[in-house]
Amino acid sequence: MSVSESGAERFRHLFENVQDAVVEFEFEDEEPVIRTVNDAFRSLFGLDGEKLVGTSLNDHIVPNDQRAQSDRFDRRTAAGKSNYAIVDRRTEDGVQTLLYRGIPYRDGERGFAIYTDLTDEIRQERELAVLNRVLRYNLSSEVGELTDHAERLIDGVEDPELAASAEAVRESALVLERMSKEARDVERALAADPDLEATTLDDVVADAVADVQLVSHADVSVDVADAPDVMTGGHLDRAVAALVDNAIRYADTPSPNVRVTAADHGDRVALRVRDEGPGLPEQERRLLTGEMRPTPLDHGSGLGLWLVRWIVTAYDGTVSYEETEGGGEITIELRPAR
């Protein structure tokens, strides 16, 4: 057996046994014409392999409302460019959502199309999204009940130990409420399209501080008016709110001072949140700066610092932490909108 025959045999074995649907086609008058398909293709699309050879691939599997998109893919393949996209195609079980990869060869005269069925994954993702919303709604309702009962106990009992226990219940309920809101913010931030646009820091910080001060008595000073606009995807206020909330929550005094400033460093704009607390614990600092990835066992005390890092890195920014005299300072660096 020659080397080329051995290579052809190995390719044929892979082609026929790979679990993804694969079709080889050749362009004739700018139309992809089927040359061969594997068993997975025949099974997914419910087509007779012997009758497919020499016929139009698009006529068999592309819905009418997807023709313009399909033509665009064909032009790219003919130009020798690969394709990678989520598409809808007609299958044995009706129109389904598939992962499509197009691979040209012979300078675009021929190509391979590979299809992976994503129907189960998308269904599971939607079901999990619904479950997440239901759980958050129920958690919010139960937290409200816990808080109300705890506050009535605090006001109504004379025993200091019972009053302290009621206060502990209230504080735990508020932690659950905060984590529920942080989970909502994380979900929104991760689901958002990260297209960046010019954002005014003054407005972002004002919204973030106003949101936090609704539930705190901290003294938050802000000096960002002279900073240039930065490039963000619309969720920077949630990151700033998480940093200010973190600074307030871990302060050593009941009325902490937090300072938010910004400075223009040319190719970067630095937004700083300084507090007077004991400083971030080592684990929290490493999570914030990306030195450690969250795991089921090492995840910090909440979702707020995860949210900060995810949002900032999505905007091509960086996060750093520095201990200062009498506190700590977290710095977010973002690209200016010049």
Q: For residue 129, what are the domain limits? A: 119-191
Among 89, 117, 145, identify where a domain stops: 117
HSE value, Cβ hemisphere, 13 Å, CA-based, for 178: 21
pLDDT at 177: 78
Say if pTM beats, i.e. exceeds, 0.95.
no
Residue with tokens 């032009």: 75
Q: Is the same domain home to 327 and 203?
A: yes
Q: Is the same domain home to 136 and 270?
A: no
pLDDT one-digit tens code per residue, 17-40: 888 999 999 999 999 999 999 999
Q: Is the same domain home to 140 and 60?
A: no
Q: Is the same domain home to 254 and 298?
A: yes
Q: How confident is the model at residue 293 (pLDDT cuts 50, 70, 90)?
A: low
Among 166, 191, 216, identify where a domain stops: 191
pLDDT at 296: 45
Residue with tokens 């130009």: 79
Are residues 300 and 306 in contact, defined by beta-carbon separation less than 8 angstroms? yes
The Cα–Cα gap between 160 and 54 comes to 86
Among 138, 163, 191, identify where a domain stops: 191
pLDDT one-digit tens code per residue, 300-318: 455 677 778 888 888 889 9
pLDDT at 292: 60
Q: Is the same domain home to 27 and 105?
A: yes
Q: Is the same domain home to 52 and 179?
A: no
Range with the poorest average pLDDT among 60-69, 82-91, 122-131, 144-153: 122-131
pLDDT at 175: 74
Domains in the chain, number: 3
Q: Is the same domain home to 292 and 278?
A: yes
CATH number at residue 214: 3.30.565.10
- Name the range with the highest mean pLDDT among 49-53, 62-66, 217-221: 62-66
pLDDT at 37: 94
Q: Over range 217-242, report the average pLDDT.
A: 88
As to burial, measured by CB atoms within 10 angstroms (0-12 exposed, 13-18 middle, 19+ buried), residue 191 is exposed
Taking the CA atoms of residue 154, residue 156, residue 161 and residue 166 in that order, the dihedral angle to the nearest 10 degrees is -30
Q: Is the same domain home to 150 and 263?
A: no
Check pLDDT > 80 for residue 128: no
pLDDT at 109: 94
As to burial, measured by CB atoms within 10 angstroms (0-12 exposed, 13-18 middle, 19+ buried), residue 254 is exposed
pLDDT at 216: 64
Q: Is the same domain home to 165 and 284?
A: no
CATH number at residue 103: 3.30.450.20
Which token pair is 179?
């984590």
Q: Over range 83-107, report the average pLDDT.
A: 92
Q: Is the same domain home to 160 and 206?
A: no
pLDDT at 57: 96
Q: How confident is the model at residue 134 (pLDDT cuts 50, 70, 90)?
A: confident
pLDDT at 297: 42
Q: Is the same domain home to 208 and 337?
A: yes
Q: Is the same domain home to 105 and 141?
A: no
